[in-house]
Structure 1
């Protein structure tokens, strides 16, 4: 059994979906969890009540704002005066095609890169500087299958942002291993979250699973369990790796 007792973990975008499952999974393993959210305050409070207020600390920050990630980190540190593990899970998925007006196209790119990549990089920067004072720490970045195989034509910017997350993670692993800082990426395909459920209502389950050999979507718990394993520190030489969770729909 994975034991994260005494560890302090910051998880972004954690009021629902993968983030919420990760909060619960890591808390069950003994971790003290900082749950970041923006829109879903009641959902975040429900999770905190379930885990216990002494084990789960809530922080509301809009990562779409410039330098908001730095504010989040500073407020997160104040809870226990240190953080051991950072899980960058927050992300957005807005559409924009080459046929849209340039303002729509540009806004989609800027917003997506800010939340999905720049805020992630800012948090990684804060984590690295903090971990260097504590003889190490762990960064786990949630990327996407789209980083490797691309996405549909309305989400070019999303795929590009997640490709950036992969390169960011690999570079951190190479550059800061000497400081005992471990960095991993996880690249899920379709995961059965609220957002995906609404998509399934539009296109149907069969359409969504047509190219998944396993025949079904992953669950948020699939991803959360991998996060817990990477957070455990059991295999430090895995640093720099990307773990695919896509039911063999894209095998690298």
Structure 2
């Protein structure tokens, strides 16, 4: 088994997930070891307009300049994801005006099936009605107005390599999540539970289902970026922390 310090960050898998979910209606630019993803919707967060370094040999100064020009032409804010160990990238992002958008997020992984018993039923999303339910749960769980519309606009149900699930308590949908299989690594990118269903094991049931399915489908490991609320849940399920990630925000840059 590879030790946590030897594992690559989840940036590569995250970049492929964002490209898969946003790319069909947006723009994806892959060059010089970087992935730049821009949505036609004027919204910026880590899942919509984002820049990633996926090659360790990529020149960090050139990458940052290229990202500023790319999003400057589109007059849109964007996010750069930075592993905590990549001091060179952090220095360049800060030098060009990037602002820390989020506290350090634990970058976690697991490579064995999870054994977790639950009375909840977790089902794979199979049609538009299921996905609408999933999108509503995400909007309620994350507390972001318009998230349902954004997910539908980007046709995330059709994204290549992405699996959506919904957890039910009887006939009541109580939570949702999605996983992504990119090459040999799987990733989990949404686990949402509306406040009224919190502390009922929903996140554990959703995560267990996604991890075990991704491993069966061929993932050598499954990675995620944990929130403060989710971190203890994932630790209990057996995830190990590889390192941490930062998000740096650039407001609308100039294309000049």
Q: Is this a same-fold pair by TM over 0.5?
A: no
**Greater helix fraction, Structure 1 or Structure 2:** 1
Question: Whose RCO is larger (CA < 8 A, sep 6+)?
Answer: 2
**Greater strand fraction, Structure 1 or Structure 2:** 2
